[in-house]
Amino acid sequence: MVVWCSKVIRSLHHALRGIGYALRTQRNLQIHLAATVLAVGLGVSQNLADWKWCCLGITISLVWMAELFNSALEKLCDRVTTEQEDAIRQIKDMAAGAVLCVALLSIFIAIIIFS
């Protein structure tokens, strides 16, 4: 049990270190952090219904998840090559497209929740 707990704590530490690294180095994630603080602040001030908090939480998590995967893929691509290559451009563009999809979804959901 002690070994199991220490493994879980170590995994949690790695995950938080990854988020911390991304927050220090990725401008887009810093923007997402500001947007998250703003959305949660607005939610508190408007005393949102439970279902709206659920939607907001899921949306915020999706945006963070997509941006973290995008940043990780970009870093991996840059380790593979710094040369200009079609395959790298396509991979990075697809990852950026994933972020765009959830960003558009989050705008749509924010309009529904806060209007």
Ligand X SMILES: Nc1ncnc2c1ncn2[C@@H]1O[C@H](COP(=O)(O)OP(=O)(O)OP(=O)(O)O)[C@@H](O)[C@H]1O
Exposed, middle or buried by CB within 10 Å (0-12, 13-18, 19+), for 56?
Answer: buried
- To ligand X, the closest distance from the beta carbon of 32 in angstroms equals 11
69 binds ligand X (CB under 6 A): no
Q: Give the residue from 69, 61, 65 showing the smallest Cα distance to 95.
A: 69
Cβ atoms of 109 and 39 within 8 Å: the answer is no
Q: Whose CB is nearest to ligand X?
A: 89
Q: Quick check: 75 binds ligand X (CB under 6 A)? A: no
- Applying CB under 6 A, among 7, 10, 13, 89 the residue interacting with ligand X is 89
Is there binding between residue 93 and ligand X (CB under 6 A)?
A: yes
98 binds ligand X (CB under 6 A): no
Does 79 bind ligand X (CB under 6 A)? Our answer is no
Please report whether residue 36 would count as binding ligand X according to CB under 6 A. no
Question: Quick check: is 67 catalytic?
Answer: yes
Residue 9: alpha-carbon gap to chain centroid? 22
User: Which member of 22, 26, 60, 67 is catalytic?
Assistant: 67
Structure tokens at 35: 């947007």
Q: Which residues of 60-80 are buried (b: 16+ CB within 10 A; e: fewer)?
A: bebbbebbbebbebbeebeee
State the catalytic residues: 67
Q: Which residues are annotated as a binding site for substrate?
A: 67
